[in-house]
Structure 1
Amino acid sequence: MNELFVAESDQIAEGQRQFIEHEGQQIAVLRVQGELVAYLNICPHQGGPVCEGMLIHKVVDVLDADRCHQGMRFDENTLHIVCPWHGWEFNARTGVSAGAGNWKLRSFPVQEREGKIYVRIL
């Protein structure tokens, strides 16, 4: 098991990300809702650099009591990563695809201790 130093804790603020290289591949570490997550920067759809994509809150439909569409809004509690190649969205906290729950980003354990961030490579 390898443990890689990523950054000082204060270098990755809420909604920010930091990339590291490991054996020729990029891993992104993000701080989402106060927690750190790490993903391989490869989209499971077609291999795009998913973690380089836009971070955007989930878009949800607003329905009235009769289930008629009243517009859309952002869900401020759910942040998505949008792959820049084809627009596939993934929940930034879980890595699960927003459109097809059977697709998921490859994740790595992250630890924050003594003001430093580390990713564990299994």
Structure 2
Amino acid sequence: MNEYSAGKVDDYQDGDRKVVLCGEAEVGVFRIAGEFYAWHNRCAHRAGPVCQGRLMKRVLEPVDADGQVRAQAYDECEDHIICPWHGYEFSIRTGRHPGNERVRLRKAELIVRDGEIYVRA
């Protein structure tokens, strides 16, 4: 399996991402909280360019005593990527959709060697 360069570790600040062409596939490489993650750039819903979507904390909708949602909050421990086509959310760390664990992104192998990042797709 071929390895493709995704740049140097020092090129990525926290919260950065880069979409890398790996042969005929695209892979998104993310640095979140000092850790690197790599996902194929195809949404599990309709194959949209998920890795080019918005990054944000997981959205929560707390329910009050009457069973009503009055506001939204954010889970500061969970970073999500939101597909720009239809708004499907996925965990950057696990690739899973928060509402259906069977729906997930396809992981790409990520290698950090001598300060360089490589992906295998």
Fold similarity call, TM over 0.5? yes
Identity over aligned residues, as a percent? Answer: 38
Give the 3 Å change call, closer, same or farther, for CA 67–37 of structure 1 in structure 2: farther
What amino acid sits opposite 2:101 in the alignment?
Answer: G
List runs of 5+ in structure 1 lacking aligned partners.
Answer: none
Contact 2:19 2:52 in 1 (8 A): no
List runs of 5+ in structure 2 lacking aligned partners.
Answer: none
With 2-11 and 48-57 compared, the bigger mean Cα shift is at 2-11
Q: Which residue of 1 aligns with 2:72?
A: 72
Aligned-residue offset at 1:71: 2.8
Runs of 4+ deviating beyond 2 Å: 61-64, 66-72
What amino acid sits opposite 1:54 in the alignment?
Answer: R
Q: Which residue of 2 aligns with 1:102?
A: 102
Q: Which residue of 2 aligns with 1:40?
A: 40
**RMSD value, Cα:** 1.7
Task: Give runs of aligned pairs for residues 18-97 of structure 1, distance below 5 A.
Answer: 18-63=18-63, 66=65, 69=69, 71-97=71-97
3-state SS of the aligned residue for 1:101?
strand
Q: Could you tell me how far apart the structure 2 residues matched to 1:83 and 1:99 are?
A: 15
Q: Which residue of 2 aligns with 1:11?
A: 11
